[in-house]
Amino acid sequence: MQRLYNWYIILSIARSGFVPDLNKDIAIVSNKSTKTMLYEHLRMEILSTRMPPGADIDEVTLSAEFSLSRTPLREVLRQLAGEGFVVLRENRSARVTDMSFSTMRDFFVAAPMIYAAVLRLAALNATPAQIEALRASQVTFREALRKGTAVDRALANNRFHEITGEMAGNVYLLPSFHRLLIDHARIGTTFYRPQSNEMAKNLDQASHQHDQIIAAIEARDQDRAGELADEHWNLSRGQIELFVMPDSLDLPLGAIPRTTTG
């Protein structure tokens, strides 16, 4: 299949009147495909926490496994760094973006505002094709809840919310939203493994809220979409805090500390 695709590209170029260097052009197409495969591999490994937060990335092993030289490998890592998945370090290997208590505090402060803005914009801007894609992702999410792993559930939920970001279509908001989704998915690999009946009920409620979100977006009801963002966040917030809130810390995550002067 890859070989046929390569020849299709080359023939298309040839029909334009340009006679290509076949070996060179096939190598370019194959290299682009391999870089995409590496990008998707690293993205899934990080979101699933199979590559845990703070882990060093073995660039030598990746180069060997994907038959890529250092230059295209670093191009992939730069793309992932720009999206918030990894951190590049001078004269050292890249590292998976950490999840420190400090970053989690920022996450809890920013998440409700960003989620609400995204869903309100989604209700205004969603196309029919995007709404159908959102419905399809919800089917996948329900299926993952029924018989998938915790990673399956976290990734399916992540895709649902990614589509709402695509619907919002705001170039200023999307980078922050995508950064939030990375950590939400990584935390989700834990809380999508319910350990009590109450946690299982919360997952069912989350699925029901997804249905309500779809309905609000389809109805172009931005106010209801914003309300659902708050409800959806409040439902997941309690589950997240169970896994990231140190027992000895009295100040809730997301509360903005007040400073006094004088």
Residue 257 lies in a domain: no
- Whether residues 149 and 233 share a domain: the answer is yes
Output the domain CATH number for residue 109.
1.20.120.530
Type of residue numbered 44: M
Cα 53 from Cα 104, distance rounded (Å): 12
Cα 249 from Cα 246, distance rounded (Å): 6
Output the domain CATH number for residue 87.
1.10.10.10
pLDDT per residue rounded down to tens, the chain (262 residues): 444 444 444 444 444 444 445 444 444 444 558 999 999 999 999 999 999 999 999 999 999 999 999 999 999 999 999 999 999 998 899 999 998 888 888 998 999 999 999 999 999 999 999 999 999 999 999 999 999 999 999 999 999 999 999 999 999 999 999 999 999 999 888 767 766 677 778 888 999 999 999 999 999 999 999 999 999 999 888 777 765 654 433 434 444 444 444 4
Looking at the chain, list the stretches that DSSP marks H as alpha helix, in order from N- to C-terminal side.
2-15, 22-47, 59-66, 70-83, 101-125, 128-147, 150-168, 174-191, 197-218, 222-244
Q: Report helix angle 150-168 to 128-147, nearest 10.
A: 170
Q: Write out the residue range of the structural domain in which residue 83 sits.
A: 2-13+22-96
- Whether residues 47 and 109 share a domain: the answer is no
Cα 153 from Cα 134, distance rounded (Å): 15
Residue 207 lies in a domain: yes
Which of 74, 96, 118 marks a domain boundary? 96
- Whether residues 34 and 86 share a domain: the answer is yes
Output the pTM of the full model. 0.77
Q: If 0-12 CB within 10 Å is exposed, 13-18 middle and 19+ buried, where does residue 40 land?
A: exposed
- Whether residues 123 and 233 share a domain: the answer is yes
